[in-house]
Structure 1
């Protein structure tokens, strides 16, 4: 369900479940039109047609944003536009200028969109009303920004704020690798990346490799800083922590989901409860390992 986790906190008021459902209906997903390149909207998290657009499992809200795109190869658009430009030149004796060429390319793209292949991708969103936490299963900041923008448009009082900790992820990872003493409840796995801070931006990556070696400590002492570090929480959830405090490549250990999918035809509730329950323990533990959350105060006016 969640492969990545970009973590935020809720800063404003959160509407009721019913109000969220009503608001999301105004942004329900619709397929791309014939000449439409992209469409984004909310779909039922359970995957059931005409189902609710927000699910509450154990007090945790789950949403799912669907994005559909149409891709027309740029090389095909260019070729079609060039063919049309050649026809114009042959007919009129006039060679199309740059602006006309741009228009011809746009016309070619619009003509090709109705037969272009479509691609879909869905993104999970988790809202924890009690912990005031907002988590997006996204690998890009652009997708997170799009989701937040959509929700702000339709949910009165909805505000999302960045999470700041007393210790940066980079500083903490440096300390854990140098001392080989991870925070309580965590263990260091076998993947990391170190990057130089100078103009060279030289990077060293370790994959499937023990990290308790002097070579890594030497890199850190020479000024390279960790940008990624694989860890496991409570022997139940493995992940990669990044320099920007993103939790990537989430993987639940064997046995965490035992019996849920086997014993139930519809395991959505059980899987959702376990996922949010495990991550609901991991994320506070991680924030605590980074020194706890802090509020950044604006500098006083001069």
Structure 2
């Protein structure tokens, strides 16, 4: 159980919930497959898949949950072709032109007819609540996907006081300072070999660099021209590597060999025990990474957070 991404939400006021309470809340919104005429559906499923039945997997106060979303796939080209065929048949039979409004009605009817035979695409999104750390962490590659899960969780719980974390200075300012050496790089941070630079002007361009020394002259020339760093690959404390963007989204998480060796040392033959061990190691590492990263980015702005 290793997250590939991490979108962090900060609890804006004290929040605590037990695994039992969370399980009870989620039970009302468990996943049910799409009906014959439904295009999509979502609900909570056991994080352990076939190896578990509970909707909440809890370890050391960290509560892992999983949201499953099913979408019916109707290829646009197939729908369009069927609509055109029906419209053409009407025009021939009735000797009149089929207008746009009627075509829209035909399209709706075609989709209703096709939905029962449509293929389904299923996706599971994982997240964990860490009340003692004051965060919700979502394994999502985009802010929208993370917000969708948080919104669904909010509906299930009735209340979820979270927001993305804020820092005292703009991430792009910090990234740029690290590369042009106007800001010291924290000791636990090591630059990778990827970055994205943007021209802040309205019609400015974007430069994506990969496999380069980020202190090289070609990067510095872009910085001297006024471009800002909006995405940066980093390694944290020799244990975790990732790409961090200007929204503080953590992508392409890779946990180091040390953690994998710790997992391999655990004597666990069954899949559920191995899953639990990996989840424990991951949450322990992220519990150190998240506050350390916020501090490295200039410090967290906690002005909107109600402290205990």
- Shorter-chain TM-score: what band? over 0.9
Query: Structure 1, unaligned stretches of length 5 or more?
Result: 298-302
Counterpart CA distance in 2 for 1:216 and 1:259 is 38
CA RMSD in angstroms comes to 1.8
Counterpart CA distance in 2 for 1:145 and 1:94 is 48
Deviation track 1:101-156 (CA, whole Å, cap 9, x = no partner) reads 00111111121111111111111111111011111111222222222222222214
**Superposed, which structure 2 residues align to 1:35-74 within 5 Å?**
35-48=37-50, 51-74=53-76
Counterpart CA distance in 2 for 1:261 and 1:110 is 51
Counterpart CA distance in 2 for 1:124 and 1:55 is 11
Q: 1:165, CA displacement in angstroms?
A: 0.9
**Superposed, which structure 2 residues align to 1:148-227 within 5 Å?**
148-179=150-181, 181-227=184-230
Q: Is the 8 A contact 2:17 2:131 kept in 1?
A: no
Counterpart CA distance in 2 for 1:11 and 1:48 is 35
**Superposed, which structure 2 residues align to 1:1-302 within 5 Å?**
1-12=2-13, 13-48=15-50, 51-179=53-181, 181-258=184-261, 260=263, 263-264=267-268, 265-266=270-271, 267-296=274-303
Between stretches 228-237 and 197-206, larger displacement belongs to 197-206
Counterpart CA distance in 2 for 1:144 and 1:81 is 36
Counterpart CA distance in 2 for 1:106 and 1:142 is 27
Relative CO higher for 1 or 2, CA cutoff 8 Å, sep ≥ 6? 2
Counterpart CA distance in 1 for 2:170 and 2:84 is 53
Counterpart CA distance in 1 for 2:73 and 2:159 is 36
TM-score computed with the length of structure 1 as normaliser:
0.93
Counterpart CA distance in 2 for 1:122 and 1:105 is 30
Q: 1:163, CA displacement in angstroms?
A: 1.0
Between stretches 161-170 and 221-230, larger displacement belongs to 161-170
Q: 1:201, CA displacement in angstroms?
A: 2.2
Q: Is the 8 A contact 1:233 1:282 kept in 2?
A: yes
